[in-house]
Structure 1
Amino acid sequence: MASIHCSRGLTGPTSSLRLAPRITPIITWAAPFSTTPAVDSKVPNAKKPLQVIGRHIRRGKIAQNSKKKREIVRIKKPEPGQRKAFRKRIQLSNSNAAAVTGLPVLEAETMASKENLCRMVGLPDKLVDQLRALEAFKPTQFWGLFRKPHMLVRTETVSLMERLNEAATQKQTLRTVLTGGKNSGKSLMLLQAMSHALLNKWVVINIPEAQDLVNANTEYSPVPNTSPMQFFQPTYCLSLLQMILKANGEVLKAYKLSKNYSDLQLIHLPEDGTLYDLAAAAKEAEFAWPVVQALWHELTAVPGRPPVLLTVDGLSHLMKQSAYRDPSFNIVHAHDLTLVRLLVDALAGHTPFANGGAVVAGTSRSNAPRSASMELALAQVAARNAGLEDVPAADPYRRDYDPRVYEAVCNVDVLEVNGISKLEARAVMEYWVASGVLQTTVNEATVTEKWSIGGHGLLGEMERAALENIRL
């Protein structure tokens, strides 16, 4: 009974308790989170919502510009070799620069005279053409800022030219390697040696970049019946002969051949031809290397010929393994290339020059591989020349020494090319001011400033500090 009364009490009309109303959940659909504001269709120029297509987000309709014609800008591609020609272009004159008057013009004995020390000398037009044919000028040099090419006669210049004159007079062979810091003027020293030799009626043979002989960018062929196998480079030899003809044509025409070269089967070679005819008879690349050998024999082994100057820039490239491969795919040493072997034999003294001459090679600090054997040999030669008792010795822990390389350069002379003196720097800066490319007053303060900024007289660094903004 109690339960019945309780039930009535709870549900009766007089009860104060009421049941809570039934809660019905209201389902609301929320839009996905986005940082893009909603687009009102009534607002003009409103942005359309983004549409997700795969992993890409695109605004507006799909393929809305598929039928729109797009303007295709066609650019003419450079011709083969055009980029390289632009990168290696040589500009030797500037009509906007002021003409500098009163400077001496280079002659046969100008750079060998001590009276011309610390003076700028001009290059005659004919000599400029010969040096251009020999590729003696470098793209990194500042020739294009001045009206005409001029050079500074420095202390090392006079010393090298005196050695060249002595070698020609005594019928000896000068073998010198130019060393020094980066941008110290080693390539310019080679150019001065070539200028002196050309003005004195020498035959000049130049290898402008030694790396072109060993980087596998030119064709090569094996020499039959050679052990170890040797390789010659016909295309490079042909271009070398053409370079020799352009630079030394007048000198070669004055000398007759010493013997008959009918075994070379050169149809363009007359019986009583000259050295010029011999060099010009190689019309095809396959005849180039035999003609180089014959011309080299005529110049070095036959008496009564002019002296020979052989110059090489970037010597360390010739003192390592090359990028060529033999038929067994083994790496070919640079000295197993016949043209490199000819150069190395001349530098080592294995090839006597019957009429005198010189082999001048320059090292490089900007683009050169490390050669432990060459560096050791040159350091020992420099120590002996300086009279030092402690001569550098080979590192017993190194395994990369090459006896062939050490033998090639262990008996050469070393000429250190370093910074110029302040007096020479003053002469150079006065020439810059007279040409109008340097707007300053040349006094002791400005000379000391440029000389110090240029690494204590490094000629290339001084040019950078003073003329680089004008060159750009």
Structure 2
Amino acid sequence: MSLQICLRCLSRPSAPSQIRLVPTTTNKQTAAFTTSTPHAAAGRIQVSQMKPKRTGNKPTATRPVRVKRLSPKNVPQRTGRPPAPGERKALRKRVVLSNTNALEVQGMPDLNPWQLFDKSMHGSVAGLPDDVVDPLRVVEAFKPTQGWSLFRRPATLVRSETVEMASWVQEVHNSQEGKTVRKVLFGERGSGKSVLLLQAMAMAFSKGWVVVNFPEAKDLTIGHTSYVPLYRNNQLYIQPHYTASLLAALPKANPILADLRPSREHNLPISVPPNISLARLCDLGKDPEIAWPIFQAVWSELTAPSQPDEGEGLVRPPVLMALDGLHHIMCESEYLDRDGKHLHAHNLALVQHFLSHLSGASPLANGGMIIAATSGSNKAASPALDFALRRNEALASSPGADIPAWDPYRKIDTRSLKAMDGVEVWRIEGLSKEEARGIMEYYAKSGMMRQTVSDTLVGERWTLSGGGIVGELERGSVRMRI
């Protein structure tokens, strides 16, 4: 028996046994250590069981989708009317200057440039005169984001910067040589730069100056208004509709234009009477097709030397030109040239017009002020302007101050940097504690702040507002409670 087993173990089988695996097909197959799908695994063994692939562009059969259709009774009906063209923009830019629920502050003086040098006015709140409020509204000096709607009447704080601004206005007004003040205001967000522009315009209106204001420089560069290349110069572009709206606002805000007459003849596309007033000439510029040549004619008349001996209406007053949001005109705009590339903001005629007067290239024969302000809450990226502000501030502080140097590995906007050469800059900082106390007492007298104004409260709010930043002080004292 053992011999048979050994021979059978040592002998080689005549035919090798073939082991055939027969898969068992079930509806649901699982594999422990594989990621292949059951159908793919089964296809390697029984190809005939798989469904043939669809070829061509025939759509596959899908289950029909049931769409729930509402009956006419259940369809939501629009009850209100759609907004009219321009209604949303008007609502967004609407400015409310009075709050009938606020208390009227008794004994509040008006903002008078001649009385601002009185020491008793420093740190107090002065109201804007009624004959100045309407012109300020026309030139859009009031901002919708400012707190004018919280108080009984528009009023502003007389701070140290206000007194200094009043001294410049008085020097220009009394000057016989046509002195011109050119300034760029910059500082932190909410430090009061736009309100200082408003105070300068209020003083100019009260003295009979001509005021031209660009309330938002962003409107010149974001590509929301028409533009065409200027004839004779394809590198310069005019904005007809914006120029027409600017001319329409000039006689409304400056009634003095009705008493001024042209001193020379102008080559205009329309015939103009020789003795026409500048106000009437501005009204003719409401047509966008002829707005730019009329604007040039009006501006040349405003900056022409006064001729008091030649006749009536030839005495020219000083001019105040203001612009808010300087960063937007110190970079590329959203407009495109003929090659589809972005136009630099300096290729726009109105922007070039303002910058030529800010830099001093275009003088004002009768004197005036050219003031621009940066915006901390809404500004475009302009590294060249930021560098120019730091450089000019360092140059004005002391001759031996450290002048910042431009990073040589960074691309620089030479046009914006050159436009700021020689321009005086003015850093606007926070209020002092005495000025903060004065405006907080105004909040309390108006009924907007229910707390007693004490030294402890003033010090606390002054510290929390970042050292007297007037925007933060108003937000923490009035707006936070509301």
TM-score normalised by the chain length of structure 2:
0.81
- Report deviation, 1:63: 8.8
Shift of 1:302: 2.9
CA distance in 2, matches of 1:66, 1:276: 60
Count of matched residue pairs: 409
Rounded to whole Å, the distance in 1 between the matches of 2:246 and 2:421 is 28
**How many Å separate the matches in 2 of 1:417 and 1:68?**
62
Stretches of structure 2 that go unaligned for 5 or more consecutive residues are 1-61, 307-314
TM-superposition CA deviations, 1:78-125 (whole Å, max 9, x none): 222222222221000011111111111122423455442111111111
In the TM superposition, what is the alpha-carbon distance from 1:192 to its structure 2 partner?
0.4
Q: Which moved more, 1:186-195 or 1:298-307?
A: 298-307
CA distance in 2 between partners of 1:421 and 1:247 (Å): 34
CA contact (8 A) 1:109 1:196 kept: no
In the alignment, the residues of structure 2 paired with residue 443 and residue 73 of structure 1 have an alpha-carbon distance, to the nearest angstrom, of 57
1:302 and 2:305 correspond: yes
Aligned residue among 209, 216, 235 for 1:209: 216
Equivalent position of 1:379 in the other structure = 390
Match of 1:83 in 2: 88
| CA 366–121 in structure 1, closer or farther in 2 if over 3 Å, else same | same
Q: 2:406 aligns with which of 381, 384, 394?
A: 394
SS at match of 2:259: coil
| 1:370-449 → structure 2 map (5 Å cutoff) | 370-387=381-398, 388-399=400-411, 401-449=412-460
| Structure 1 position 266 matched with structure 2 position 270 | yes
1:131 alignment partner in structure 2: 136
Question: CA, structure 1 residues 314+66, in 2 after alignment: closer, same or farther (shift >3 Å)?
Answer: closer
Q: From the superposition, tell whether residues 444 and 298 of structure 1 become closer, same or farther in structure 2 (CA, over 3 Å).
A: same
Letter in 1 for 2:243: C
Q: What's the counterpart of residue 317 of structure 1? A: 328
Aligned to 2:161: 156
Residues 66 and 311 (structure 1), Cα distance of their counterparts in 2 relative to 1, 3 Å cut? closer
Q: Specify every segment of 5 or more residues in structure 1 that has no aligned partner in the other structure, as ranges.
A: 1-52, 57-61
Quote how far apart the aligned CAs of 1:312 are. 0.3
- Cα distance between partner residues in 1 of 2:72 and 2:287: 56
Q: Which residue of 2 aligns with 1:29?
A: none
Q: Give the residue type in structure 2 aligned to 1:411.
A: G
Q: Does structure 2 conserve the Cα–Cα contact (< 8 Å) formed by 1:258 and 1:302?
A: no
Tell which deviates more after alignment, 172-181 or 65-74.
65-74
The 1:112–1:231 alpha-carbon spacing in structure 2 relative to 1, beyond 3 Å, is farther
Q: Note the alpha carbon deviations across 1:38-80, whole angstroms, 9 max, x for none.
A: xxxxxxxxxxxxxxx9699xxxxx9998668315231322222
Q: Percent identity?
A: 42
Return the alpha-carbon distance in structure 1 between the equivalents of residues 406 and 434 of structure 2. 39
Task: Give the corresponding residue for 2:77.
Answer: 73
Q: Is contact 1:266–1:281 with CA below 8 Å preserved after alignment?
A: no
3-state secondary structure, aligned to 2:212: strand
Measured after TM superposition, the shift of residue 445 of structure 1 is 0.9
Note the alpha carbon deviations across 1:334-355, whole angstroms, 9 max, x for none: 1111111100101111011100
What's the CA shift for 1:281? 2.0
How far does residue 274 in structure 1 lie from its aligned partner after superposition? Answer: 2.0
The 3-state SS of whatever aligns with 1:209 is coil
Matched, 1:100 2:105: yes
Distance 2:406 2:68 in 1: 75
Matched, 1:364 2:368: no
Name the structure 1 match of 2:244: 238
Query: Could you say what secondary structure the match of 2:365 adopts?
Result: coil
Q: Tell me the distance in 1 between the aligned counterparts of 2:152 and 2:249.
A: 26
Distance apart, 1:396 and its partner CA: 1.3
252-261 or 178-187: bigger deviation: 252-261
Partner Cα distance (2:274, 2:410) in 1:
56
Provide the C-alpha distance between the structure 2 equivalents of 1:64 and 1:383, rounded to a whole number of angstroms: 71
The residue number in structure 2 matching 1:466 is 477
SS in 2 for 1:264: coil
Amino acid paired to 2:247: L
Aligned residue identity for 2:283: A
1 CA distance for matches of 2:298 and 2:335?
Answer: 26
Does the Cα contact within 8 Å between 1:168 and 1:355 map onto a contact in 2?
no
Question: Which of residues 316, 324, 329 in structure 1 aligns to 2:340?
Answer: 329
Preserved CA contact (<8 Å) 1:238 1:282: yes
From the superposition, tell whether residues 83 and 434 of structure 1 become closer, same or farther in structure 2 (CA, over 3 Å): same
Aligned to 1:254: 259
Query: RMSD in angstroms over aligned alpha carbons?
Result: 2.0
Quote the residue 2:181 is aligned against: 174
With over 3 angstroms needed to count, the CA separation of the structure-2 counterparts of 1:64 and 1:402, relative to structure 1, is closer
Residue 79 of structure 2 aligns to which amino acid in structure 1?
Answer: I
Aligned AA for 2:191?
A: S
Q: Distance in 2 between matches of 1:166 and 1:154?
A: 19
Q: Distance in 2 between matches of 1:199 and 1:359?
A: 17
Instruction: Note the C-alpha offset of 1:245.
Output: 1.3
Shift of 1:380: 1.3
